Structure 1
Amino acid sequence: MAGPTIKLSHPVKSLSGNVPLTGSKSESNRALIIQALSGGNVTIENLSAAADTVTLQRALAASTAADGKIETVIDIGPAGTAMRFLTAYLSINGGQATLTGSERMKQRPIGILVDALNTLGAHIQYAGATGYPPLAIDGAFKQETAHVRIKGNVSSQYLSALLLIASALPQGLELQIEGELTSRPYLTMTLDMLAEAGIQHQWNGDRITIAPQATKPCRLTVEPDWSAASYWYAMVALAEDANLFLPNLKKNSLQGDAAIKDIMVHFGVASTFEDGGLRIQKTTSVHQAEETLFDFTECPDLAQTVIVCAAVQRRNLSFTGLHTLKIKETDRIAALQNELGKFGVKLVEVGKVYHLVTEGLFRPQHLTIETYEDHRMAMAFAPLALLFDGVQINEPDVVEKSYPDFWKHLKQHGFILS
């Protein structure tokens, strides 16, 4: 859906039918790196149509085409996962490349990963500000050690980037995680997908070891995106009546964002796995007293959706595990505070805990939401059209980063878009 704004409404306030979600961006991006290092042994099914995945796929093709003979400039725009994964991949692929991105990407730190790779034997220099993209990468890798230490509480993508290339290193990798580990399910996803491709590992305490080894011939089938499903959970919670079927979602998912099915029990949404997928339904059972503090350490991408949903349900809840949100596509904490304030809700930070204050909630005649170049801001606030009249989303094209069919799917389910 093109254009600088979209106005949303939903006259019926009821939802039903099927929502065919695109493949998981997180799984797809890992699968692409595994495939690139497999020597043709790995094929992928149900690859995501998300812009981030398309960007990574094109970047890998460009680096392969260059074949080490010319320097390649690779611009990944706002694709954070692509930046982290390509930094590791390009450092061992034999060619020379300058890896850059959007202005926001140039503000997102990457020094922890660069330091780790250079310790291993990579040759990466900063082409701009120290600690940030763009990066000048010489892929003539000569391993100096198999041991590297890296902080676990900044971004799990740093760790995943290292683990994805580990089996291709001459000495393999022994990765020691320092301190708290953020987004553990994403690390588990990486290791499970590597295992599907025949790459074995050992994880003992704070150490993960992967020996040099080759991938086996295999087909990696990408599950639909639970992050995308989370927005439909919010819509079910805010609708007057709702019964939706999400095809091909799995009960035993690799994705950490599958936690949404347990979280949204507290907001009146029931989940039932059936043959071929997942059914989510509006219920009258809302477990208001059972949970007042939600920890998003292992699923930070759900935070905006749940916080917005809680805000308009007048739930004075508290949230922790949000520390990584400040270095995402935007400062998501500040963005949430700004936009929640437009209908009288406050998100107050006290130490490492954030508290919703909903006593000032009011129903605005018109609500305009800024997206801050962040796809999740657009999709977290769009469900408010089920409660408020005249919701406007500015710069709606940001959803193409992870869920290109989002607006089309809303239209198919009774939302009026103009």
Structure 2
Amino acid sequence: MNWKSYTETQNIASLQEYILMKHNIILTKKGKSVKGTVQLTGSKSECNRALIIEALSNGKVKVENISDAADAVLLAGILRAEVKDRKLEISGADDSRIEHPLSEINVGPAGTAMRFLTAYLALQDEGVILTGSERMKQRPIGILVEALRELGAQIEYVENEGFPPIKLKGSLVQQSNKVSIKGNISSQYITALLLIAARLPFGLELHIEGDLTSRPYVEMTLAMLQTAGIQHTWQVNVIAIKNQDFTTTSLYIEPDWSAASYWYAIAALADEAELFLPGLTQYSLQGDSVITEIMANFGITSQFKDGGVYLQKEAKAISRKIFDLKECPDLAQTIVVICAALGHEATFTGLETLKIKETDRIKALQNELAKIGVKLTEKGQVYKLDCSEKQIPEYVFINTYDDHRMAMAFAPLALLIPQVEVEDADVVEKSYPAFWKDLEKVGFEAEATG
């Protein structure tokens, strides 16, 4: 699905018509050896932050190596849109032009865009309704809206209290510079506030209550702001940013470590693996670069040289039993599936935010793991794998629940299962459009159906 078709789905009147556009992928793999070079797209997390910074800087900051992930293309199109005849005319990756009424912006399933634009649009002069897909209308945004209201933003709910769509009246008149927000909710709420802090007349003093989930994502935001000239202080649980100007600079987007995690999974399930991922650095802003440490437990070595990272599989018994994924929740599906496939009965913590993602990722994992006889049990905030009835069928159908990470986390099972059919192959457009093509480059066969 290219940019044009992705955008057009937002205006389809019939759900049935949309379903007919979908197709599945059947994955097969001859042999269990994987070798090759894979060039990953730019980081969606870095790119979305950089695009908001660029828009707030009034031309001083430029973004280089923009990700071709659908979410990033969508956000870039909205922020760089031209206004003609009271309509936003948005440029797509393929130079298509899509018009939206100036009074409404539809982000579809793009959760990051929804959160970041909520804060960004609160500063703008024009009023706008911000909406999204049906799933987006089920994802809470009340905590961010309440924080912005405390700062002086005028925001109303259009349908259901606490959920999109929302109406932003624009022209925030700051009433306070102090906001408290819980640390165990989505880090995107915190990032959205930090991104606009320097443009607030009195700056921002953000108080984080309790433990901070996904801390690396907050650190990424602050590091990118600092590159753009925005200074901050972080003392105990208070992050403070004064009103200040951006400096003239460029922000280069590193390849996506979240995307790299699927290649680590492939290496873990292969008998032999030698892979090179260009452009990735050892000292990355991206929290998901911790995948190198996690996957060392599964015998995957990471050697940084020649401008990238080499992955190699070595025989090693898995000893680690507990994985705390609080700071890297986007790796959760990948790690859980690897453990399940290998029959490793691990315990997982730090998965609290998974229930409010593109889908309820906990339920989605439970449903799909059951298809290979593995149970993921939940007790409080602790999750355990029971692999006692694990089986390797000849064929398995994986539902994706409109979640890109479900598709990519389960795809490596094709190294163990003769046929893996993945529902709605285009769902990977959200973060890694070339995923299926890249699999083919290293020996997988990906046959489209439907």
User: What TM-score bracket applies, with the shorter chain setting the length?
Assistant: over 0.9
Deviations 1:161-193 (A, max 9, x none): 000000001111000011121100000000000
Q: 2:217 aligns with which of 180, 183, 186?
A: 186
Helix, strand or coil at the partner of 1:9: strand
Output one character per residue of 1:270-296: Cα deviation in whole Å (capped at 9) or x when no partner.
11111200001111124x22x211001
Alignment correspondent of 2:67? 48
- Look up the equivalent residue of 2:420 and give its one-letter code: V
Question: Secondary structure of 1:220's match?
Answer: strand
Alignment check: 8 A CA contact 1:63 1:72 kept: no
Taking the aligned partners of 2:222 and 2:420, their CA distance within structure 1 comes to 41
Residues 336-373 of structure 1: CA deviation (Å, up to 9, x unaligned): 00000001000011121100011101111210000000
User: What are the equivalent positions in structure 2 for 1:135-284 lying under 5 Å apart?
Assistant: 135-284=166-315
Aligned counterparts of 2:74 and 2:412: Cα–Cα separation in 1: 28
Aligned to 1:119: 150
Aligned-residue offset at 1:71 = 4.5
Aligned to 1:315: 344
Report the AA paired with residue 438 of structure 2. H
Verify: 1:373 aligned to 2:402, yes or no: yes
Q: How does 1:92-107 map to 2 (within 5 A)?
A: 92-107=123-138
Q: Which moved more, 1:158-167 or 1:1-10?
A: 1-10
Q: How far apart in 1 are the matches of 2:234 and 2:328?
A: 21
Q: Does 1:336 align with 2:365?
A: yes
Whole-angstrom distance in 2 between the partners of 1:336 and 1:267: 21
The 8 Å contact of residues 153 and 174 in structure 2, kept in 1 or not, is answered as yes
Identify which of 329, 353, 358 aligns with 1:300.
Answer: 329
Q: Describe the superposition over 1:275-331 as per-residue Cα deviations: whole angstroms up to 9, x where unpaired.
A: 200001111124x22x21100100000000010000011101000000100000000
**Aligned-CA RMSD value:** 1.4
Length-normalised TM-score, structure 1? 0.97
Alignment of 1:18 onto 2:37: yes
Offset at residue 72 of structure 1 (A): 2.4
SS at match of 2:277: strand
Q: Is the 8 A contact 2:36 2:441 kept in 1?
A: no
1:12 is displaced (CA, Å) by 2.4
Cross-structure match for 1:33: 52
CA distance in 2, matches of 1:101, 1:175: 28
TM-score, normalized by length of structure 2? 0.90
Paired residues of 2:400 and 2:407 also in contact (CA < 8 A): yes
Q: Structure 1 192/306 Cα, relative in aligned 2: closer, same or farther at 3 Å? A: same
1:58 equivalenced with 2:87 (yes/no): no
Contact preservation (8 Å) 2:407, 2:425: yes
Q: 2:382 aligns with which of 315, 339, 353?
A: 353
Report how many residues are paired.
415
Distance 2:404 2:56 in 1: 30
In structure 1, what is the equivalent of residue 92 of structure 2?
none
Q: Counterpart of 2:11?
A: none
C-alpha distance in 2 between matches for 1:186 and 1:380:
21
SS in 1 for 2:147: helix
Note the C-alpha offset of 1:62: 3.7
Partner of 1:327: 356
For structure 2, list consecutive stretches of 5 or more residues without a partner in the other structure: 2-20, 89-100
- Secondary structure of the 2:282 match is coil
Task: Provide Cα deviations, 1:2-50, integer angstroms capped at 9, x if missing partner.
Answer: 8521100110221111100000000000000000010100111111100
Offset of 1:140 from its aligned partner?
1.2
Q: Any unmatched runs of 5+ in structure 1?
A: none
Range moving further from structure 2, 55-64 or 245-254: 55-64
Amino acid at match of 2:63: I
Instruction: Tell me which amino acid in the other structure corresponds to 1:260.
Output: I
AA matched with 2:73: V
2:93 corresponds in structure 1 to none
- Judge conservation of contact 1:63–1:95 (CA < 8 Å) in 2: no
> Are residues 1:408 and 2:427 paired?
no
Runs of 4+ residues deviating >3 angstroms: 62-68
TM superposition shift of 1:235: 0.2
How far apart, in 2, do the equivalents of 1:210 and 1:238 lie? 45
- Which letter does structure 1 place at the counterpart of 2:257? W
Distance 2:384 2:298 in 1: 17
1:194-245 Cα deviation digits (max 9, x unpaired): 0000000000011000000111000100110000000000000111111000
Distance 2:381 2:83 in 1: 44
Tell me the CA shift for residue 408 of structure 1.
Answer: 0.6
